[in-house]
Amino acid sequence: MRHDGRQVNQLRPIEVRRQFTDSSPGSVYIKAGRTTLLCTASVDLEVPPWKKHEENPSGWVTAEYNMLPGSTSPRKRRDRTKVDGRSTEIQRLIGRSLRAVVDFQALGPRTITIDCDVLEADGGTRTLGITGGFIALVDALLWLRKQDPTCDIQKILVDTVAAVSVGICEGVPLLDLNYIEDSTAEVDLNVVMTGSGQFVEIQGTAEQRTFSHDQLQKQLALAGDGIVELTRIQRDIFGENWPLDQNPSS
Amino acid sequence: MRHDGRQVNQLRPIEVRRQFTDSSPGSVYIKAGRTTLLCTASVDLEVPPWKKHEENPSGWVTAEYNMLPGSTSPRKRRDRTKVDGRSTEIQRLIGRSLRAVVDFQALGPRTITIDCDVLEADGGTRTLGITGGFIALVDALLWLRKQDPTCDIQKILVDTVAAVSVGICEGVPLLDLNYIEDSTAEVDLNVVMTGSGQFVEIQGTAEQRTFSHDQLQKQLALAGDGIVELTRIQRDIFGENWPLDQNPSS
Amino acid sequence: MRHDGRQVNQLRPIEVRRQFTDSSPGSVYIKAGRTTLLCTASVDLEVPPWKKHEENPSGWVTAEYNMLPGSTSPRKRRDRTKVDGRSTEIQRLIGRSLRAVVDFQALGPRTITIDCDVLEADGGTRTLGITGGFIALVDALLWLRKQDPTCDIQKILVDTVAAVSVGICEGVPLLDLNYIEDSTAEVDLNVVMTGSGQFVEIQGTAEQRTFSHDQLQKQLALAGDGIVELTRIQRDIFGENWPLDQNPSS
Amino acid sequence: MRHDGRQVNQLRPIEVRRQFTDSSPGSVYIKAGRTTLLCTASVDLEVPPWKKHEENPSGWVTAEYNMLPGSTSPRKRRDRTKVDGRSTEIQRLIGRSLRAVVDFQALGPRTITIDCDVLEADGGTRTLGITGGFIALVDALLWLRKQDPTCDIQKILVDTVAAVSVGICEGVPLLDLNYIEDSTAEVDLNVVMTGSGQFVEIQGTAEQRTFSHDQLQKQLALAGDGIVELTRIQRDIFGENWPLDQNPSS
Amino acid sequence: MRHDGRQVNQLRPIEVRRQFTDSSPGSVYIKAGRTTLLCTASVDLEVPPWKKHEENPSGWVTAEYNMLPGSTSPRKRRDRTKVDGRSTEIQRLIGRSLRAVVDFQALGPRTITIDCDVLEADGGTRTLGITGGFIALVDALLWLRKQDPTCDIQKILVDTVAAVSVGICEGVPLLDLNYIEDSTAEVDLNVVMTGSGQFVEIQGTAEQRTFSHDQLQKQLALAGDGIVELTRIQRDIFGENWPLDQNPSS
Amino acid sequence: MRHDGRQVNQLRPIEVRRQFTDSSPGSVYIKAGRTTLLCTASVDLEVPPWKKHEENPSGWVTAEYNMLPGSTSPRKRRDRTKVDGRSTEIQRLIGRSLRAVVDFQALGPRTITIDCDVLEADGGTRTLGITGGFIALVDALLWLRKQDPTCDIQKILVDTVAAVSVGICEGVPLLDLNYIEDSTAEVDLNVVMTGSGQFVEIQGTAEQRTFSHDQLQKQLALAGDGIVELTRIQRDIFGENWPLDQNPSS
């Protein structure tokens, strides 16, 4: 059993609140254990400069990631003169992951920006940013459809997307590492998958020792189970407002 | 009556949650109408560099202010390569205001940083940052006292502090402007006062037309009433944990 | 009596030279005691980007503030990679104050930039920047009228503007603080007023102790007298070239 | 067959020159097809600041990555005011990969910096940076051993490391993508492995469509074969100066 | 005759005021025609970081150059986020030129910073910065000697230094170009020389056409005559306070 | 004889390889002794913004200079947040020197950027950048002529250009200083000349002692001989592809 009482294949308890603030079309408070993010989705009725010369300019989805100073102890200094390398890398991952399930022609000439601001960091902020960012993205599309009923969410979203970390601690593969586990893990693997069970992104790093082909397979299996559970949570939070007909994880 | 139904001398409804996150000694969610901030207080057991050469180095309190991108519509770009002038000005105000009620010798060689991150902006973010930041500061001191029972909060805090805006809209002085009121106000006055009724800071600006001595007096009176109410809210949220003996607003 | 021999309600001796350099339409050397500024006014026949889409684009007035390295001892480092917070705050104040007396429609599609460069700093640089910046602004308008006789200065300038600091030192309210007084003042209040006696901006800060309602009133009265004197000096330096018919301070 | 005539499982021809310049302990010119890098290794007899307080400070290996402007057409602008996100991400990957085979206690209080400057970019610059960077690292250790014969390279290097990209183009898994293949690949996977066949890092990204578990396995197999070949090249270039007894890939 | 009535070998009229401000040990207002600079000299009782480890740390002289926004029309933007290449190049030239006549061992562990701020620019700002900067340097040394009578100015200054520009306009070599001449010159040559007639720096640039050996010689002769005149002005402004016994230009 | 066995008037051995990489129209590896540069020339079919409003926009040539970290020992930090003053000064010199032999009307609306990246630095990098940069420029023009046969290289290039350093070490004038000579030279003079023997740029600096008129002449003579030799090397490397009819150095 793990130091917080979880099984090796158990996610942390997740709490999600949609419309947490009123200032953005999507505004999702998402908490997994003691990791908390505010994921907001803003809609800009422009396309990025490098798409403006397309004949029928398609849309774009981008992401930014930031840790609030009070999200860690000791306090994290703000990125005020440059963005640190880790933040850049994470926000590029979040953006790529969300774009993998969006059809930009169907979205039309709009840019959706997902801001993932970490209020409290206890491991897994980047994967929770993807899982929560997708919920904010859906809310932004629901908002768009209210403005413009021709906006066809089922065409825009080709699938759902969620992410989770797995790792090997003292030789044992574990699902959804918290900070203590993450900082002692021998291997750290972030897995981004669609609701239909396809891979979007795999990032595995040997933190303290290299890993074998067999260890890789065990971690991928654990991650797959976690993604199924997270996909269910994403759908359930919308209830009957869930805009995608098909049950994506079945 | 105002467009949101308030009286001219009525504050917006205020909601406060202490210990909103677990990652900082002070963590206060504060919402006034549709303006929402997360004010965290971090404690560093060091003094700033320019105090290190003092014989008995005293402490320091500083503040940072930031608007999250999703706090406004259209989305606000992050301050990632430089801090914009407005943010700098606001965080200097918040820091000065909180320092006005702290005895640095009594605090001892510690730096407390108050981070005011705006989750949702509908006017009055800087004054709410002072009001909420003070609550986070008290929580940080309660946390410090648990670590070190010799920490004497009644000596450290020489008073309480809160802030409110007043303005003149279409000739009528109003208390606690929201965004629509603020953007059409002829005069905008931010008032920072102690619980004992002294001024800490007055910042009045003629936005559209200059103002007379008489108009100034009327606004100061409105602000004074607002501060009394805010001081009461600050005390009530702590209940019996309120660490200051005297009732500061009476 | 004060350490430099002044009465509590006495301004420092002021020296003003117009057309100090030939390279700008307005170029004013202004010295109050040992505080010296060069205030230049440049005219750009463009409007700022955010006004370009107006149908009849109106003009704009903006200001920049900078201390030369040799203006203080020890030498002040140049702001070469970022502008420090204090400079930003001051130049925003100077810009707002000058804009308060300008009718932008009457000015037409032109941007006037007032640069306040401090050659020697002994307290009160921001208020002297406003007082001297207004003189440079008038000179720029006289220059504009030579280029374009339809330029109607009496419509463009709706009033005059000047500024002065007041403070409380050892309990005594004093007018026009120099550096030694400023650095020991318990309260520091900068007042910007028009020639007609209206307030443009009030910025009062408790530096060492908070201040009462009564102390505020005494300082405002001192400041009002100082502004009358400064307004007279502004008018006298132009002699018969003063472009405003009415005597603004009477 | 591929557009440059290679088999699906064939590496590009590789040319390596050690001691390409005399100004660094390690200086490796490495060219794979039309991708060319200069990998230099510099040795600093200091440890990074955050290791200085260790009792027996261990060493560190870090990397920087940069594309020369003329390495692409159109010319790439220099990173002169900030490092772009992609460069940051790549140099973090190269650094992590090299550190995975170094024993920092055995290295002792020294920092080795591997600079990977891309002279010509035709795909696969990051993986070639790891493969060539390892050769430069070995040369730096050989140089160190000349200075200090107690430097035990077999203890410092716990394994060898190399990297290669694989991808899926039009449904076919391919080894070692060049630029045209990379830009049309549906999936792009960078694999970093040791000479002993363990994983150091896996980074797989769905560029145009998501990928299945089966496709992942096929790519990993291709990559494994490529790494065996690259490891042999790394060893052969040193000939009898190869400082590691065991044949790492067998 | 030149467009401002000068002979080809005639300097512009020069006006110098020492102690222009009281805030720096050296403060020199220097005006040549319509080019005006404020050259201040500040003294820091520290040596630069890279000299701190010397056994008997010697001193240093450095310079900074800046054009005020109002010094040109149209207004020059401030260097607030980076220093432009031209300013960097000029301040490096001024620093090198002044250092050429200073004995750093005799100066002792002090850093003198010469700030050359251009109030009005009509050509020749860099050379006037050297000529005026030297006067400010002498004043700083006179100030130092008052603080510390052992400060031996005759040992510290091994010579005097001044600078002037020459150029070729329409084939005719001219001394001391103003802006109009400078911008139409075919060749532009800045010459820095000591009072004893030695070269410190020569910077010649073909602006519109290359130049021959003979043309170079004619310009050097003109410059030599100008330097003799400038050296005399430098000495005369000090009168009997001139701290160097020998008449440097004879 | 010099420490590397050269005569006082002898250049270092020079190796040149054209088309060193395939990614730029011009790509020249040039090595003089142990100073090595990669000079690439990129062609952009645009003119710089400040030329766009010309009726028949003419072209432009610009240069950038950079030292790779491994080009010196100890390693040189990258210019990643700002360009250091020395690099800026050098790249401005290289750009000016190349522009002196280009007819921009004949070039037409194109910008050619010469990147001089130093792979190994042992003195004389800026002059070798000019000499090698000119070769890259010629290759870019040959490439342009292939694209557009109307491109008339003999009109575009009005002359050839090369550069060399001379200096005075222990009183003896030397040609083409390497690093050890350069760092002990009393005087350092960089000379840029055309193939026809005209001066383009002269930059002489007294490093340790000032220099006389006679010393200047001796250095200029040495430099002239070096330029003749370098011009011959530039022509010979092209053989029969040399696009300029006249033999520029005879």
Examine residue D59 and state whether it is found in any structural domain, yes or no: yes
Q: Which residues of D touch A194 (CB under 8 A)?
A: 210
Classify residue D132: in a domain, yes or no.
yes
Q: Which of E100, E198, E216 sits opposite F212 (nearest CB)?
A: E198
Q: Indicate whether F220 pLDDT > 90.
A: yes
Q: Among candidates C23, C12, C26, which has minimal Cα distance to C135?
A: C26
Q: What is the pLDDT of residue F249?
A: 46
- Kindly tell me if the per-residue pLDDT of E85 is higher than 80: yes
Contact F200 E212 (CB under 8 A): no
What number of C-beta contacts closer than 8 Å exist between C and E? 101
Whether residue F95 is predicted with pLDDT greater than 70 in this model: the reply is yes
Say whether pLDDT at D139 is over 70: yes
Residue of chain F minimizing CA distance to D40: F70
User: To the nearest whole angstrom, how far is the Cα of C187 from the nearest Cα of chain B?
Assistant: 9
**CB within 8 Å: A220 and D200:** no
CB C63 within 8 A of CB C162: no
- Written as six digits, the tokens of B135 are 């609550």
Confidence of residue A249 (pLDDT cuts 50, 70, 90): very low
More confident residue, A217 or F54: A217
Those residues of chain B that have pLDDT short of 50 are 248-250
- Both structure tokens of F60: 């432009």
Nearest CA in chain D to F117: D68
**Amino acid type, C179:** Y
pLDDT band at A107 (very low <50, low <70, confident <90, very high): very high
List residues of D whose CB lies inside 8 A of any F CB: 20-24, 27, 34, 36, 38, 40-42, 44, 64, 66, 68-75, 78-83, 113, 115, 117, 119-122
Q: Is position F37 within any domain?
A: yes
Task: For residue A81, say whether it is annotated as part of any ligand binding site.
Answer: no
Specify the number of domains making up chain A: 1
Token output for E92: 């490096």
Query: Average pLDDT for residues C193-204, to the nearest whole number?
Result: 96
Q: Do chains C and D touch (3 or more CB pairs under 8 A)?
A: no
Chains touching chain C through at least 3 C-beta pairs below 8 angstroms are B, E
Looking at the complex, report in whole angstroms how far the Cα of residue E123 sits from the nearest Cα belonging to chain F.
Answer: 20
Tens digit of each residue's pLDDT (9 = 90 or more) over D144-191: 999 999 999 999 999 999 999 999 999 999 999 999 999 999 999 999
pLDDT score of C57:
83
Token reading at F181 = 């000579």
The answer to whether the CB atoms of F40 and D68 lie below 8 A apart is: yes
**Predicted pLDDT of residue C99:** 97
pLDDT at D57 over 90: no
Has residue B8 been placed in a domain?
Answer: no
Does A5 score more than 80 pLDDT?
yes
Q: What is the rounded CA–CA span in Å between residue F228 and residue F220?
A: 13
Question: What integer pLDDT is reported at residue B248 of this predicted model?
Answer: 46
Looking up tokens 């599609």 gives: C109
A12 a known binding residue? no
Question: Which residue bears the tokens 């030498």?
Answer: C75
For residue C193, pLDDT beyond 90: yes
Partners of E177 in the beta sheet?
none
Residue of E12, E19, E21, E23 for testing the chain C interface, max C β-carbons within 10 Å: E23
- Specify the pLDDT at position B246: 56
> B–C: how many Cβ contacts below 8 A?
76
- Chain D residues whose CB is inside 8 A of the A159 CB are 210
Query: Would you place residue A246 in the very low, low, confident or very high pLDDT band (cuts 50, 70, 90)?
Result: low
Query: What is the predicted ipTM?
Result: 0.87
- Continuous segment of H or E residues that includes residue D199: strand D199-206
Alpha carbon separation from B99 to B60, B201, D135 (Å, rounded): 8, 12, 57
Q: Which of C114, C112, C98, C135 is nearest to C242 (CA)?
A: C135
Q: Give me the residue label for tokens 């050996």.
A: E213
**What residues in chain B have their Cβ under 8 A from chain C's Cβ atoms?**
82-83, 85, 88-89, 92, 96, 100, 159, 189, 194, 198-206, 210-213, 216, 220
Residue F155 near residue F127, CB atoms below 8 Å: no
Asked whether the beta carbons of C194 and C185 are under 8 A apart, the reply is: no
Q: For helices A85-99 and A125-147, what crossing angle results, to 10°?
A: 50
Helix (H, G, I), strand (E, B), or coil: what is residue A159?
coil
Chain F residues with beta carbon closer than 8 angstroms to that of E222: none
What lies within 8 Å, CB to CB, of E12 at 6+ separation is E4, E6, E32, E33, E35, E124, E176, E178
| DSSP three-state, residue D36 | strand
CA distance C70 to chain E (A): 6
Per the CB < 8 Å rule, is A117 touching B121?
no
Q: Is residue C3 part of a domain?
A: no
Mark whether E and F touch (3+ CB pairs within 8 Å): yes
Mean pLDDT rounded to a whole number for chain A? 94
How far is Cα C145 from Cα C153, in angstroms, rounded to an integer? 8
Residues 6+ apart with CB under 8 A from C69: C75, C76, C77, C78, E40, E42, E64, E113, E115
Residues of E in contact with C69 (CB under 8 A): 40, 42, 64, 113, 115
Cis peptide bond prior to A13, omega within 30° of 0: no
Is residue A114 a contact partner of residue A131, using CB atoms and an 8 Å limit? no
The reply to whether D134 falls in a domain is yes
Which residue of chain E has the CA closest to C71? Answer: E23
Q: State yes or no: pLDDT of E210 exceeds 90.
A: yes
Q: Reading across the β-sheet that carries A60-67, which strands appear in turn? A: A14-17, A26-32, A35-44, A111-120, A60-67
Mean pLDDT to the nearest integer, D58-66: 96
D194 interaction partners in chain A (CB closer than 8 Å): 210
Whether C232 shows a pLDDT value over 70: the answer reads yes
Q: Which domain holds residue E165?
A: 14-241
Q: What backbone torsions phi and psi does residue C230 show, to the nearest 5 degrees?
A: -65, -35
**For E135-188, how does the pLDDT look when each residue is reduced to its tens digit (9 = 90+)?**
999 999 999 999 999 999 999 999 999 999 999 999 999 999 999 999 999 999
C-alpha count within 13 angstroms, C-beta hemisphere, residue E123: 21
Choose from A92, A130, A210 for mutation: most chain D CBs within 10 A. Answer: A210
CA distance C69 to chain E (A): 7
CA distance A85 to chain D (A): 6
D249 pLDDT tier (thresholds 50, 70, 90): very low
Please, are residues C195 and C249 in contact by the beta-carbon 8 Å criterion? yes
Of F42, F73, F83, the CB nearest to D42: F73
Q: The tokens 């060749």 sit on which residue?
A: E187
CB burial class (10 A; 0-12, 13-18, 19+) of residue F243? middle
**Is residue B248 situated within a structural domain?**
no
Q: Which helix (H) or strand (E) holds C88?
A: helix C85-99
Record: contact A42-B75, CB cut-off 8 A: yes
On whether residue E9 sits in a domain, the answer given is no
Contact D206 A100 (CB under 8 A): yes
Chains in contact with chain E (at least 3 beta-carbon pairs closer than 8 A): C, F
HSE of F94, CA atoms in CB hemisphere, 13 A: 33
Collapsing DSSP to helix, strand or coil, F194 comes out as strand
Report phi then psi at E17, rounded to 5: -125, 120
Residues D126/D163, Cβ–Cβ less than 8 Å: yes
Rounded to two decimals, the pTM is 0.89
At what angle are helices E213-238 and F213-238 packed, to 10 degrees?
140
- Selection from F45, F54, F154 nearest residue F106 by Cα: F154
DSSP state of D104: H
The per-residue pLDDT for C46 is 84
User: Residues in chain E, how many?
Assistant: 250
**D83, D104, D199, D217: best to mutate for the A interface, most A CBs within 10 A:** D199
pLDDT of res. F248: 46
Res. C246 pLDDT band, cuts 50 70 90: low
Q: What is the pLDDT of residues F145-190, one digit of tens each?
A: 999 999 999 999 999 999 999 999 999 999 999 999 999 999 999 9
Q: Do E64 and C78 touch (CB under 8 A)?
A: yes
Does residue E246 carry a pLDDT above 60? no
> Confidence band (pLDDT; 50, 70, 90) for A211?
very high
Q: What's the pLDDT score for residue C249?
A: 46
Asked if omega into C74 is within 30° of 0 (cis), the reply is yes
Tell me: the pLDDT tens digits for C49-98?
888 888 888 999 999 999 999 999 999 999 777 778 899 999 999 999 99
In the prediction, which pLDDT does A115 show?
98
Closest chain A residue to B31 measured between Cα atoms?
A21
Alpha-carbon gap, residue D191 to D175, rounded angstroms: 11
pLDDT tens for each residue of A25-72: 999 999 999 999 999 999 998 888 888 888 888 999 999 999 999 999
The reply to whether residue E120 touches residue C71, judged by beta carbons under 8 angstroms, is no
Q: Spell out the SS3 assignment of C188-216.
A: EEEEEEECCCCEEEEEEEECCCCECHHHH
- Which residues of chain E are within 8 Å of residue C44 when distances are taken between CB atoms? 74-75
Alpha helices in chain D (DSSP H): 85-99, 104-107, 125-147, 153-156, 179-184, 213-238
E222, exposed or middle or buried, with CB in 10 Å at 0-12, 13-18, 19+?
Answer: buried
The side-by-side arrangement of strands in the sheet containing B172-175 is B172-175, B161-169, B187-194, B199-206, C199-206, C187-194, C161-169, C172-175
D208: helix, coil or strand? coil
The owner of tokens 């809609």 is: A43
Tokens of C61: 């007035």
CB contact at 8 A, E102 and E156: yes
Structure tokens at C226: 């100082």
Selected for mutation to probe chain C from E75, E113, E178 (highest C CB count within 10 Å) is: E75
Tokens 């020199």 -> residue: E28
The pLDDT mean for chain C works out to 94
Binding partners of D (≥3 Cβ pairs within 8 A): A, F
- Pairwise CA distance, residues F134 & F147, whole Å: 20
Identify the CATH number of the domain in which residue D100 sits: 3.30.230.70
Best residue in A23, A28, A34, A81 for a mutation probing chain B (most B CBs within 10 Å): A23
Q: Is the CB of D69 less than 8 angstroms away from the CB of F42?
A: yes
**F243: Cα separation from own chain's centroid:** 19
Which residues on A lie below 8 Å from B76 (Cβ)? none
Q: C78–E71: do the CB atoms touch at under 8 Å?
A: no
